[in-house]
Amino acid sequence: MSVWQPAWFQTAQSSGGWLVVHSGQAFLTAGADVLFASDDPRVQGFAGERHGLGQWQAQPVTLLELDTPPDIEGCVWQPLRPLMLQSPHALFKLLGYANQIGTWARQHRFCGQCGTRTFALDGQRGLKCPNCQLTQYPRLSPSMIALITRGDEVLLARSPRFAPGVFSTLAGFVEPGESAEACVHREIMEEVGVSVTNLRYQGSQNWPYPHSLMLGYHVDYLSGDIRCQPDEIEDARWFHLRELPTLPPAFSISRFLIDRYRVERLGGAEPVLPD
């Protein structure tokens, strides 16, 4: 089985290997393939910024970031979410990393302090301004994701952005000056109008939408009736563990939180949160 081996310091000028072509928030795909040989004539002549991503099948993988997505016969541009559902976990991790690096590089081509064109540093993942010396590194946004439980019931919700029928745990970004635990209480109250207690940290997962570090919690329901936040939550309900709706992918931390509690209450094999 292929395993992606990240190497953020790897040079992007390695000869041979694989090429991942990215533009905006979409990847170039040919059928089921999203990795192209570097000498593939369909991608060989593209001009864009290149960033080393690591190793795949013992070959270097390079991200090619394009300003605009050209039309290529036999190829389709796809965003990351549908690719997530059809890709092995190791490949999804590679694509998620590529999506984050491509987005970061595109958004920091010019210095945010003086507006000068930045350049990539050798030996590290950084973009430096030659004028004021400001260096920009990729940054992650901490966010909480929490499973709310009440006996054999779990409170799940769906966003308008979800695939049809999918319900998930609640999530939200940590605000400046806020702890992760305070974020859990605030986001749950804002999104579904209930109070919770007994917060237990369960694990973390990098989530490339667009650059989150998800901090997973299991919390107990305390009080309140469900009240969905307009524009954020289109539906939220209590579900019995034996009658759950369509859930997120098996390798997501949301699914891990749900499956772990289901095993705790009903028995079964302990789920594993993928690295």
Cβ 195 vs Cβ 87: under 8 Å: no
CA of 206: how far to CAs of 10, 37, 45, 213, 252, in Å? 21, 27, 33, 5, 10
- On whether 261 is known to bind a ligand per the annotation, the reply is no
- On whether 81 is known to bind a ligand per the annotation, the reply is yes
- On whether 111 is known to bind a ligand per the annotation, the reply is yes
Distance in angstroms between the alpha carbons of the first and the last residue of the chain: 16
- On whether 232 is known to bind a ligand per the annotation, the reply is yes
- On whether 190 is known to bind a ligand per the annotation, the reply is no
- On whether 163 is known to bind a ligand per the annotation, the reply is no
CA distance 261 to 252: 15
Q: What is the CA radius of gyration of the chain?
A: 21
- On whether 228 is known to bind a ligand per the annotation, the reply is no
- On whether 114 is known to bind a ligand per the annotation, the reply is yes
Cis-peptide, bond into residue 210, ω within 30° of zero? yes
Annotated binding residues for a divalent metal cation, written as ranges, equal 171, 187, 191, 232
Annotated binding residues, written as ranges, equal 81, 111, 114, 129, 132, 137, 171, 187, 191, 232
Annotated binding residues for Zn(2+), written as ranges, equal 111, 114, 129, 132
Annotated binding residues for substrate, written as ranges, equal 81, 137
